[in-house]
Chains A and B, each alone.
Chain A
Amino acid sequence: MTKDAILASIRRGLRRGPLPADQRAMLDGRLATHPRHLIPARSRVPRPEQVALFIHNVEKEFGTVDRVTDAADIPAAVAEYLASQNLPPRVVMAPHPELQALPWAGKPLLDVEARRAEATDAVSVQHGYAAIAETGTLMLPSDPARPTTLNVLAETEIVVLRTSRIHGAYEEAWDTLRRERTDPITGGFMPRNVMLVTGPSRSADIEQTLELGAHGPRRLHIILLDDDPAALPGA
């Protein structure tokens, strides 16, 4: 079998046979404990500074951020953003309970459909699972309530994120996913797809000069809900 031939060739190069049981156990232990390596100091700061770092990095990467203190204000924030960008008041939204519970009825002119995205959708509203301050990165794991197409098909993506879900480093966000999620197929934690998104889509393939809006969203707008008293400015 090809698999055996490849493994045999690797072992020939390593000048050994299959690993003995004790060494396998050691490597299994490393997988189970998944030790962290160096975590850069830049994100190891108090909560308000972590949130500020996140916002700074999103903006550095051409994303935009709006901050609201009451979840009830989110539909208005979405409507205002669309108006400010001259976009039609129509969005495809993740069928996530937190988003569906928002008072959309208060914005009757805003057409909201909860489903996966199609090619004709101009604006998507996604549920932000977590974020990483270190580089201004969103963590968007796939889920029936968080379809992947919302991240890639629309020209404009709006992500609703709670400040309590902003982590310092990637490793902390991975641990949150490990703790919170159980996969229906594997029993592990990884969903089919995890996207780490840092800013809107871009390409520098033409003369190594940056242009925004390649194949994915041209605009990435984050509505940040302040749900973490410890993360408020001056806290």
Chain B
Amino acid sequence: MVEITSPAFKENAARALSDPGLQKALGKAKGAFLQRRAEAVSRLPEFEQLRDIGRDIKNHTIANLDFYLETFAANVERAGGTVHWCSTAEDARAAVLEICRNAGAKTVTKGKSMISEEIAVNDHLEKHGITPVETDLGEYIIQLRREHPSHIIAPAFHLNREDWEADFRRMHTDLDPNRVFNERRDILAEARTKLRSRFLAADVGITGANFLIAETGSSVIVTNEGNGDLTQTLPRVHIALASIEKVVPTLEDATSLLRLLARSATGQDFSVYTTFSTGARRPADLDGPEEYHVVLIDNGRSNMIGSDFQEMLRCIRCAACMNHCPVYGVTGGHAYGWVYPGPMGSVLTPSLVGIDKTALLPNASTFCGKCESVCPVKIPLPGLMRHWREREFERHLTPRAVRRNLGLWAWFAKRPGLYRAVTRTAMAALSWLSRGKGAFTSLPLAGGWTAGRDLPAPEPGGTFMARYAKMQRGR
């Protein structure tokens, strides 16, 4: 599995906040996603109803997941494909390597796939002498930089144009070192040329899957570049990597979810290429792979069924939650320290790798609730993060200072008269200290808070209880 730096979330976040390049990239990218999604949703009046439908389809599927997986596998085999059932990341890596070896593969092209990051298949192939080539533009530069994606649909979210130009100059040494990149288009054109020969040379193409369809035994990929289609069309062997919760019953179910996916993700009404693959090349076909494999991966998902975190299995990986998250918006994705960042990652990562290493993630939330309000399948992300905080507390993973302060707060909260008197005094003191300024940039005894953000000063008008009492009197 990918190395995990989630235990260092605080240090990672502090580094991210003082990284001007990252802050520039985040500032530029974020607004675009929010605006495009809002516009796409406003063009489809039925969007809210579709969210309920999406939630219900996924719930129905998970409640019958054994049935739909068996049906899916039977239909893949009917179409001449092979299904490889894998319990762990290790099993999945071994299955992919074996298929590649049987194909005599030297190079493998890859479409974008988060599960391939989760099982770290690239490292495994490289270790065994097979060269994996990422072909999604964002994944391509991430591979050149030997980094991991910082966002689940926009892997190079953390990079600026200058980074692209510098990396291309550094890595594409066969090209004129003095060439000029006038526009972003020139960077894209260079990548297109570089990757074209890779597509043609590859022996195996590996893609992920946005959905699996039980009815037909199909795997579905959604892309804008067309790299996924080149990856799964040109080589002799196509491998689709998919975790078990990707299955849906029918084309109609997938279609309803597809109406939600692109709008929630990139703010497009529909992605450019939505492609359904079913088995290998038919006898009279002029193109397409001769072998079709689905590597079906559990890697911890089945343990989430029946747990407090089952609802997370509805996730369709659109990234709307991280695009709208105020924490992700300033730390970027790498701070989260594993494959899946943002709110969905803060729920999923503890489920897959354990809360002991990841307890900071469900705490990295203001609980503003925006993630839940934009989730296309209505996953109650703040509620699930709260469950993780409870687990953390129960398992005594919470830092001692936090436990002590929570205890102190609880002691006061159980004594309402005293609590009100203390908060009244504290508010008055803070108001006086703030001297009309809206916020504190530093405050004695609260350096841990003000180091990373401002503390808002109390609004005039007293505490909530004081205002409530006043309102009651006025009725």
Contact = CB atoms under 8 A, between A and B. Distances in A.
Interface residues of A toward B: which range?
35 or more
Interface stretch (B100-108, B157-165, B459-467): B157-165
Contact of B251 (A5, A34, A95, A208): A34
Interface in A188-210: 188-209
B306 A12 contact: yes
Nearest to B225: A214
Contact of B64 (A19, A197, A200): A19
A235 to B, nearest CB: 26
A135 to B, nearest CB: 4
A191 B282 contact: yes
Given A186-B78, A193-B276, A208-B29, A215 B192 contact: yes
A196 B233 contact: no
A19 B298 CA distance: 20
Interface stretch (A36-44, A73-81, A100-108, A224-232): A36-44
Given A6-B298, A31-B250, A13 B303 contact: yes
B282 to A, nearest CB: 6
Of the four ranges (under 10, 10 to 19, 20 to 34, 35 or more), the interface on chain B belongs to: 35 or more
Given A40-B44, A216-B229, A194 B285 contact: no
A206 B188 contact: yes
Interface centre among A31, A192, A195, A211 (most CB of B within 10 A): A192
A21 to B, nearest CB: 12
A52 B272 CA distance: 20
B409 interface: no
Contact of B224 (A14, A36, A95, A201): A201
B273 A197 contact: yes
Contact of B225 (A144, A197, A216): A216
A31 to B, nearest CB: 5
A208 B28 contact: yes
Nearest to A11: B66
Interface string A140-160: 001110011101110000000
A61 B271 CA distance: 10
B282 A185 contact: yes
B270 A196 contact: yes
Nearest to A31: B215
A9 B88 CA distance: 13
A189 to B, nearest CB: 8
Given A31-B214, A188-B216, A215-B195, A196 B275 contact: yes
Contacts of A214: 137, 188, 192, 224-227
Nearest to A116: B286
Q: Which secondary structure characterizes the binding site on chain A?
A: loop
A115 interface: yes
Nearest to B46: A40
Contact of B85 (A6, A171, A201): A6
A7 B70 contact: yes
- Which of the listed residues B70, B138, B250, B258 has the most CB atoms from chain A within 10 Å of its own CB? B250
Given A40-B259, A116-B286, A152-B226, A205 B136 contact: yes
Given A38-B53, A190-B276, A6 B28 contact: no
Interface string A18-51: 1100011001001100111110111000000000
A202 B224 contact: yes
Contacts of B184: 206-207, 209, 211
B269 interface: yes
Contacts of A149: 233-234, 286-287
A36 B190 CA distance: 44
Interface in A51-71: 57, 61
B5 interface: no
Interface string A167-187: 000110010000000011110
B249 A31 contact: yes
A76 B159 CA distance: 46
Given A115-B286, A152-B230, A207-B184, A198 B298 contact: no
B252 A171 contact: yes
B34 to A, nearest CB: 11
B58 to A, nearest CB: 12
A139 B1 CA distance: 38
Interface in B280-336: 280-288, 292, 296, 298, 302-307, 310
Nearest to A13: B305
A3 B85 contact: yes
Contact of A213 (B192, B251, B274, B303): B192
Given A170-B258, A186-B217, A206-B184, 5 more contacts: A10-B65, A12-B306, A40-B45, A40-B259, A217-B226
Interface of B: 25, 28-29, 32-33, 44-46, 49-50, 53, 57, 63-71, 73, 75, 78-80, 85-87, 91, 135-138, 141, 154-157, 159-161, 164, 184-185, 187-189, 192, 195-196, 199-200, 214-218, 224-227, 229-230, 233-234, 244, 249-253, 255-256, 258-259, 266, 268-288, 292, 296, 298, 302-307, 310
